[in-house]
Amino acid sequence: MLEQIYRPVMWVDCIQGLKANGTQILIECGPGRVLNGLTKRIDRDLTSFSTDDVASLENALTSI
């Protein structure tokens, strides 16, 4: 857990790994849209949603 404070997050590697394993849709849960924005910069072919409440989650799931 301590390493998470001082080591860099390998977000590009995470997104590329997800795509390499067949992931096509990502849903960010929680306040803000930072991860969704970063994901779109890394790979515009992935479909991503940001959700911060039940209604937006239901909307994202309906869109899939």
Is residue 4, in this structure, part of any structural domain at all? Answer: no
Predicted confidence at residue 7, as pLDDT, reads: 83
Splitting the chain (64 residues) into consecutive groups of 10 residues, what average pLDDT does each group show? Answer: 79 96 97 94 96 96 94
- Give the model's pLDDT for residue 53: 97
What confidence score (pLDDT) does residue 23 get? 97
Which structural domain range is residue 19 located in?
A: 9-63
Q: What is the pLDDT of residue 1?
A: 64
* Within a domain: 57: yes
Count structural domains, the chain: 1
pTM exceeds 0.85 for this model: no
- HEC profile of the chain: CCHHHHCCCCHHHHHHHHHHCCCCEEEEECCCCHHHHHHHHHCCCCEEEEECCHHHHHHHHHHC
